[in-house]
Amino acid sequence: MSSRKTPTACPVPNGKLLLIGGHESKGDAPEEDEQAAYNINFAPEAILRRLSEEIGSRGPLVVIPTASGEPEESVKDYVKAFRKIGGPEVVPLDIRQRPDAQSEASLKLLDKAGGVLFTGGDQLRLTALLGGTAVQHRLYERYSHDKLILAGTSAGATAMSTPMIFQGRNDAGMLKGEIHITTGLEFLHDVAVDTHFVARGRIVRMAQILATNPACIGLGLEEDTAVLVTAGKEIEVLGSGLVLVLDARSCGSTNIHEIAPNTPFSLRDLRLDLLAGGERYTLPIQPRLYA
């Protein structure tokens, strides 16, 4: 297949993205999770079941546990979960060094996949080991031209967007320079994704990202909550929690370009939408398709 090229004039990918906020239900009893226990609409494994439906019979689910510090255990969890719901076969693609992401064996496995899932862990490991490799290029091609679904949970979801948050405490963000961003895997451009969003109080750190990148949209995903992205920008909310959409394109003012590092910043007229399961929303972005 061809290598990565300049975006073409036809910007609608045939594939879908499933971005999960982490701690998605794998069949846990509601009483084991405080959020689920109080949610009368809680549906165990709802997100994984939807992923299974989207894959259908097109091929196995290839799980890439590169971000995880315990890759074997991460894969076992999904093998167990999808077996329980009668889902697709789960096949690991354990990339631990950049040469693993250049191998013909890895590419052949991706060519057979009906879906691909990036596990949680450290998103910087994903971009450092996959960025610019044959695996990343093949995923671009298949997402652009095939009906492939790319899923990511926690760090795996954060890594799919550009810009990508890779450093910053949960309670950080009030002071200029506390949050660090880099280029993600670029399946979703001009959108910053953050996960565990409500549980870990990450709204302020997202606001700082938007203060410095006001053309981007902030997408905050709560745990056991996901967005299914079709046509590169149409989202459907899934799961038991909330998705927060932050939009600074029409912000009135910010002082982040004027203040010194380690100083609190200001941002006015930030728009915030809260979306529950079943809601739909069009991201105000232009998708990119790679030939």
Query: How high does pLDDT run on average in the chain?
Result: 91
Over residues 6-34, mean pLDDT: 75
Q: Which of 172, 180, 168, 177 is nearest to 259 (CA)?
A: 177
Alpha helix positions (H), the chain = 34-38, 46-55, 71-84, 104-112, 123-130, 134-145, 155-158, 203-212
Lowest mean pLDDT among 126-140, 197-211, 266-280: 197-211
- Angstrom distance (rounded) from CA 62 to CA 279: 28
Question: pLDDT at position 170, please?
Answer: 66
Token reading at 18: 């499933």
% of the chain at pLDDT higher than 90: 82
> Cα–Cα distance between 52 and 57 in angstroms, integer?
9
**Stretch among 1-10, 59-68, 184-193, 216-225 having the lowest mean pLDDT:** 1-10
The tens digit of pLDDT for each residue in 224-239 reads 999 999 999 999 999 9
pLDDT given at position 146: 96
Is the pLDDT at 29 greater than 60, yes or no? no
pLDDT surpasses 60 at 166: yes
Specify the pLDDT at position 157: 97
Residue 161 has pLDDT above 50, yes or no: yes
**What is the reported pTM?**
0.91
pLDDT of residue 222: 96
Closest CA to 197 of 16, 35, 32, 29: 35
Q: Which CATH superfamily is domain 16-282 in?
A: Class I glutamine amidotransferase (GATase) domain (3.40.50.880)
pLDDT band at 30 (very low <50, low <70, confident <90, very high): low
Cβ pair 161, 188 in contact under 8 A: yes
Given a cut of 90, whether residue 173 has pLDDT beyond it is no
Q: What is the pLDDT of residues 197-227, one digit of tens each?
A: 998 989 999 999 999 999 999 999 999 999 9
Query: Which residue, 284, 227, 218, is CA-closest to 17?
Result: 227
pLDDT digits (tens, 9 = 90+) for 35-85: 555 565 666 799 999 999 999 999 999 999 999 999 999 999 999 999 999
pLDDT of residue 42: 62
Could you tell me whether strands 180-182 and 217-221 are parallel, antiparallel, or unpaired per DSSP bridges? Answer: unpaired
pLDDT value of position 112: 98
Residue 124 has pLDDT above 80, yes or no: yes
Round to whole Å and give the CA distance between 188 and 15: 12
Nearest 10 degrees: CA dihedral of 189, 68, 55, 216? -10
Please say if the pLDDT value at position 138 is more than 70.
Answer: yes
Owner of token pair 């302020």: 204
Higher pLDDT, 113 or 39: 113
Amino acid 100: pLDDT: 97
Handedness of CA 287, 214, 20, 93 (dihedral sign): positive
Q: Which two tokens stand for residue 171?
A: 């309670």
For the cut 50, the answer to whether the pLDDT of residue 114 exceeds it is yes
Q: Quote the pLDDT of residue 40.
A: 59
3-state secondary structure 62-115: EEECCCCCCHHHHHHHHHHHHHHCCCCCEEECCCCCHHHHHCHHHHHHHHHCCE
Instruction: Name the residue with higher pLDDT: 207 or 288.
Output: 207
Q: Are strands 61-64 and 161-162 parallel, antiparallel or unpaired?
A: unpaired
Rg (CA), the chain: 18
Predicted confidence (pLDDT) at residue 240 exceeds the cutoff of 80: yes
Q: CA 226 to CA 168: how far, in whole Å?
A: 22
Helix (H/G/I), strand (E/B), else coil: 73 = helix
Section 261-280 average pLDDT: 97
